[in-house]
């Protein structure tokens, strides 16, 4: 997979994570993409280390998408726990 594929995967998995965990988060589209990309890397790394699965080469492999969404969810939850109350409520 190329760099553009990773960006698309990160954007989509970041959006899926935000849909599964709705709420107000700063960052907009750029923040969602960065959380998704980082979550994809975390999910892929955990999948190869813990589950002993090879990294798939196909963009539409379901196991890769599940790992990427799971990693994005973990990262989004951690982000909210660390920075959830940093903005003043209006």
What is the pLDDT at residue 26?
A: 62
Q: Is the pLDDT of residue 51 over 60?
A: yes
27 pLDDT band, cuts 50/70/90, is low
Q: Average pLDDT over the chain, rounded to whole? A: 78
The upper half-sphere exposure of residue 32, i.e. CA atoms within 13 Å in the direction of its Cβ, equals 19
61 pLDDT band, cuts 50/70/90, is confident
Question: How many residues does the structure list for the chain?
Answer: 90
Exposed / middle / buried, residue 31 (Cβ in 10 Å: 0-12, 13-18, 19+) = middle
23 pLDDT band, cuts 50/70/90, is confident
Question: What are the DSSP calls for 53-80, one per residue?
Answer: -PPP--TT-HHHHHHHHHHHHHHHHHHH
Number of helices followed by number of strands (H, E) in the chain: 3, 0
């Amino acid at each position: 997979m190329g760099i553009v594929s990773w960006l698309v995967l990160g954007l989509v998995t970041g959006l899926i994570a935000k849909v599964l965990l709705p709420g107000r988060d700063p960052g907009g589209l750029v923040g969602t993409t960065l959380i998704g990309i980082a979550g994809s890397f975390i999910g892929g790394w955990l999948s190869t280390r813990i589950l002993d699965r090879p990294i798939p080469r196909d963009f539409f492999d379901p196991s890769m998408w599940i790992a990427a969404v799971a990693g994005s969810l973990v990262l989004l939850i951690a982000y909210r726990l660390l920075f959830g109350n940093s903005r003043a409520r209006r």
